[in-house]
Amino acid sequence: MTTIAYPQATAAPAAAPQPPALELANVTMRIAGLTAVDDVSFAVPAGRIVSLIGPNGAGKTTTFNVISGYMRPTAGRVLLFGQDVVGLAPERISQLGLVRSFQRTSVFAGCTVFDNILTALHLRGRAALWQTLLRTPAFRREEESLRRQAGELLDFLELRERAAEPAASLSYGEQRLLGVGLALAARPRVLLLDEPAAGLNPSETEAFKAMVRRIGERGVTVLLVEHDMHMVMSISDHIVVLNYGRLIAAGTPRAIQRDPEVIRAYLGSGIKRAQA
Ligand SMILES: Nc1ncnc2c1ncn2[C@@H]1O[C@H](COP(=O)(O)OP(=O)(O)OP(=O)(O)O)[C@@H](O)[C@H]1O
């Protein structure tokens, strides 16, 4: 089990130890005779930004699928704040606070940017169907509150100016930001981001990096799969490296950039770019 050493926050001596936000313990996933994830263990402490990197086919997406409940691992445990979530449906895991934002944009293109966020917030709303249908005072109060939250979320995403426009009119980068906004509307405690920088131009990547940092500052734990090493090295508190399904290294960005096995397996000649 790879233990990730973080500087300890000062805590009262008697405080009960907090479980990590997410922990994988000896997770193995065999698919059609191939071991896509091979006895992988790592922990993601609450409130940190951790990246999962490795060459194509290393098992990153499969690991995400196992964590989020889309695949049941052949062996091992996945603990969300100490609770084993193996065998739970993805929707249940999402209700427990682990939300995944997909590689492909998933916005409702024909709706306005505001309505996209409002709809996503409604999915987590508390009003019962009968309250919604009858438009009871409780429903109207909740609607007002959700509209206010949608505005706040758009401020957070720096998309408020585009609120009234159809999502389809956003640039690709803005659509990716909105896609993360939809995931944030589910109020995640842990957010999984699958290649958020794929296809973004450099300025869009910068905007995305800033947003991931802001998400982390709000106390949301982030686990990121990403090939853009500039992004990974600049925003991660910690990095976990997979190769052929096995964990080959885990450490700070600085340590990972100097790890001979990681350089050999993945960073290779890209190391200079990653350090730049
Ligand atoms: N549904 C599947 N059926 C068969 N093989 C699969 C399936 N999903 C993943 N694999 C195999 O498992 C291995 C790990 O794939 P995975 O997609 O998890 O890697 P990855 O690190 O996410 O790669 P990439 O960076 O290219 O997205 C690969 O050899 C892949 O071909």
Contacts with 254 (C-beta within 8 Å, 6 or more apart), sequence order? none
Mean pLDDT of 139-146: 80
What is the atom index within ligand 1 of the atom nearest the CA of 65? 18
pLDDT of residue 276: 44
Ligand 1 pocket mutation, candidates 29, 31, 228, criterion most atoms within 8 A of CB: 31
SS3 call for 26: strand
pLDDT of residue 135: 65
Backbone angle region of 219, left / alpha / beta, with phi > 0 → left and psi within -120 to 50 → alpha: left
pLDDT of residue 6: 46
- Token readout for 206 is 């910068």
Q: Which residues line ligand 1 (CB under 6 A)?
A: 31-32, 34, 36, 54, 56-62
Cα(154) to ligand 1 centroid in Å equals: 34
pLDDT of residue 275: 47
pLDDT of residue 256: 96
Cα(9) to ligand 1 centroid in Å equals: 37
Backbone angle region of 39, left / alpha / beta, with phi > 0 → left and psi within -120 to 50 → alpha: left
Residue 27 pLDDT grade (very low, low, confident, very high; cuts 50, 70, 90): very high
**What integer best gives the mean pLDDT of the chain?**
87
Q: Nearest to residue 172, comparing CAs of 102, 107, 100?
A: 107
pLDDT of residue 18: 85
Structural domains of the chain in order of their starting residue, each with its CATH number: 43-77+88-107+187-276 (3.40.50.300), 108-169 (no CATH)
Looking only at the bridges linking them, the beta strands covering 49-53 and 34-44 are unpaired
Is the pLDDT at 101 greater than 90, yes or no? Answer: no
- Stated pTM of the model: 0.85
Is the pLDDT at 252 greater than 50, yes or no? Answer: yes
